Amino acid sequence: MHALKLRPIGTSTGTTLPKELLGKLRVAAGDTVYVTEAPDGSFRLTPYNPDFATQMQAAEQIMRDDRDVLHALAQ
């Protein structure tokens, strides 16, 4: 477990992530991380955009359902 101290940064509040945590998340300075809320009220920090995953699932479904149409359009 990592304890993070919140600090004022201008008119906002921020924190610094330890190197070990950055390594586990596979992120570096300048990368974007996302915070999502779980149904139980807890929060999750992830480098993956959850909206992108939803969009990709929809795209994969369309590609499966309309394979012939997409093949015709590709020619």
Structure tokens at 4: 């993070």
Q: At what angle do helices 67-74 and 50-65 cross, to 10 degrees?
A: 90
Q: With H, G, I as helix, E, B as strand and everything else as coil, classify residue 9.
A: strand
Give the pTM: 0.59
Each residue of 34-53: pLDDT tens digit? Answer: 998 989 999 989 898 877 77
Structure tokens at 33: 């991380």
Each residue of 12-21: pLDDT tens digit? Answer: 999 999 999 9
